[in-house]
Amino acid sequence: MTILDGKATAAIIREELKEAVLKRKSDGKKIPHLAAVLVGNDGGSVSYVTAKVKACEEIGFESTLIRYDETVSEEILLQKVANLNQDNSIDGFIVQLPLPKHIDELKIIQAIDPKKDVDGFHPQNIGKMVLNLPGLLPATPAGIIELIRRNEIETEGKNCLIIGRSNIVGTPLSILLGRNGKPGNCTVTLAHSKTSNLKTLSLEADIIIAAIGKPNFIKANMVKDGAVVIDVGTTRVEDASRARGWRLVGDVKFDEVAPKCSYISPVPGGVGPMTIASLMINTLKAIENKSK
Ligand code: GUN
Q: Which residues are paired to 263 by β-bridges?
A: 2, 228
Pocket-testing residue among 47, 81, 96, 125, ligand 1, by greatest number of atoms within 8 A of Cβ: 96
CA distance 14 to 34: 15
Cα of 175 vs centre of ligand 1, distance in Å, is 19
CA distance 189 to 164: 10
* pLDDT higher than threshold 90 for residue 292: no
Mean pLDDT along residues 148-152 = 98
Asked whether the beta carbons of 39 and 103 are under 8 A apart, the reply is: yes
pLDDT digits (tens, 9 = 90+) for 235-286: 999 999 999 999 999 999 999 999 999 999 999 999 999 999 999 999 999 9
Give the up-direction half-sphere exposure of residue 117: CA atoms within 13 A in the CB hemisphere. 20
pTM (2 d.p.): 0.97
pLDDT band at 8 (very low <50, low <70, confident <90, very high): very high
| Domains, the chain, ordered by start | 28-115 (3.40.50.10860), 139-273 (3.40.50.720)
Q: Which amino acid is residue 279, in one-letter code?
A: L
Q: Which residues are paired to 35 by β-bridges?
A: 64, 93
* 152 contacts: CB under 8 Å, gap ≥ 6: none
CA distance 93 to 65: 10
Q: For residue 214, indicate whether it is catalytic.
A: no
Cα of 244 vs centre of ligand 1, distance in Å, is 23
CA distance 35 to 40: 16
* pLDDT higher than threshold 80 for residue 185: yes
Q: For residue 86, indicate whether it is catalytic.
A: no
Closest atom of ligand 1 to CA, residue 119: 7
Cα of 292 vs centre of ligand 1, distance in Å, is 27
pLDDT digits (tens, 9 = 90+) for 25-42: 999 999 999 999 999 999
- Closest of 9, 98, 22, 2 to residue 278, by C-alpha: 9
Asked whether the beta carbons of 143 and 118 are under 8 A apart, the reply is: no
pLDDT digits (tens, 9 = 90+) for 110-120: 999 999 999 99
Among the listed residues 5, 91, 119, 231, the single catalytic one is 119
Q: Which amino acid is residue 128, in one-letter code?
A: K
pLDDT at residue number 120? 98
Asked whether the beta carbons of 274 and 10 are under 8 A apart, the reply is: yes
pLDDT digits (tens, 9 = 90+) for 85-111: 999 999 999 999 999 999 999 999 999
Q: For residue 119, indicate whether it is catalytic.
A: yes
3-state secondary structure labels for all residues of 185-236: CCEEEEECCCCCCHHHHHHHCCEEEECCCCCCCECHHHCCCCEEEEECCCEE
* Residue located nearest, by CA, to atom 11 of ligand 1: 97
pLDDT at residue number 42? 94
Kindly list the distances between the CA atom of residue 19 and the CA atoms of 13, 15, 59, 147, in Å, as whole numbers in the listed order. 10, 6, 8, 20
pLDDT at residue number 18? 98
pLDDT digits (tens, 9 = 90+) for 127-141: 999 999 999 999 999
**Rounded to 5 degrees, what are φ and ψ at 188?**
-95, 135
3-state secondary structure labels for all residues of 128-177: HHHCCCCCCCCHHHHHHHHHHHHCCCCCCCCEEEEECCCCCCHHHHHHHH
* pLDDT higher than threshold 90 for residue 291: no
pLDDT at residue number 197? 97
pLDDT band at 126 (very low <50, low <70, confident <90, very high): very high
pLDDT at residue number 200? 98
Ligand 1, CB within 6 Å, residue ranges: 94-97, 119, 139-140, 168, 275
- Closest of 81, 71, 151 to residue 110, by C-alpha: 81
pLDDT at residue number 145? 98
